[in-house]
Structures are given as C-alpha cells and as structure tokens.
Amino acid sequence: MSEDADVLRADSLAREIFSGVANKWALLIINVLGTRTLRFTELKTEVEGISHKMLTQTLRGLERDGVVHRAVYATVPPRVDYHLTEAGEALRDTVNGMCAWTRRYLEDIEAARRRFASQDRGAVR
C-alpha cells in the first residue's frame, strides 16, 4: 500500500481526504445531494443549521476531492448546480449505512449517554 493511501499515517493524503469527507457537514451534504441536483440556496435550506461560510467551504473541499461536481451556467443571474460524482455516489452508500446505524442504535446510545452522565467522573479510584 502506498504511504499516501495509509489513513493511519498523519501525513498521508488518505487521512486528509478522510478528514474532509468524515465531518458532519460533508456527510449531510452528501446525503442530501444523493437525492437530486441542487443549487446553493436549496442546499442551505436542506442542511439545517449550516452557515453560508461553512457550506461554501465544505462544497469547495468536496469539489476539490472529486466528490461533488459544480456546474456553472452563464445566465443572468448566474446559475450554479451541485450534484454527486461517481465517487460521491459510492461514498453516499457509506453515508447511508451510517444513517441506518444511527437510527438502529439511537435508543441504545441515548441510554448509554444517560448512564455516562449519571456516573461520578470526579473521583479517583
């Protein structure tokens, strides 16, 4: 395996790519774009809570890594559409798996969080 493909190496390209696509905003954008092509404002509406700046930064990173395609149309005003590339579609399968895992284990996770919060973490044993 190439050193650049080793996600465990701090200086690998794989880790840089992994970091770019494995954040909450990127995952949500990939999930939303998997259903259809959207414009920037439509994406901002669909991904509740994302700021204009964060959406711009995340889309640029996903475009740079070949996950999202940005199509610009010479109209007045200019029209810009975003959709997943083949690589993005493949990544969406993983995102869908994570969403399914979250739905399946949500109650277990909530119970674990309640147990964790109720424990006395300040005492040294």
82, 39 in Cβ contact below 8 A? yes
- Does pLDDT of 125 surpass 80? no
The pLDDT value given to residue 39: 96
Report the length, in residues, of the chain. Answer: 125
**Beta-carbon neighbour count of residue 38 at 10 Å?**
19
Residue 15 — very low, low, confident or very high, per pLDDT cuts 50/70/90?
confident
pLDDT of residue 61: 94
Q: Which residues pair with 5 in a beta bridge?
A: none
- Give φ, ψ of 121 to 5 degrees: -90, -10
Q: Is 70 helix (H, G, I), strand (E, B) or coil?
A: strand
The H or E element containing residue 73 is strand 68-73
> What would the pLDDT profile of 19-75 be if each residue is shown by its tens digit?
788 889 999 999 999 989 999 999 999 999 999 999 999 999 999 999 999 999 999
| Residue 60 φ/ψ, nearest 5 degrees | -60, -45
Give percent of the chain with pLDDT exceeding 90. Answer: 69
Using the predicted structure, report yes or no on whether residue 117 has a pLDDT greater than 80.
Answer: yes
- Predicted confidence at residue 5, as pLDDT, reads 67
| Residue 121 scores a pLDDT above 80 | no
Global pTM reads 0.81
pLDDT in tens, 78-99: 899 999 999 999 999 999 999 8
What percent of the chain is modeled with pLDDT above 70? 93
| Cβ-Cβ contacts under 8 Å for 79 (sequence gap 6 or more) | 39, 72, 73
- In order of 69, 88, 112, 121, the CA distances from 93 in angstroms are 18, 9, 27, 38
Tokens of 7: 């996600």
pLDDT score recorded for residue 17: 81
Task: Count CB-CB contacts under 10 A for residue 91.
Answer: 21
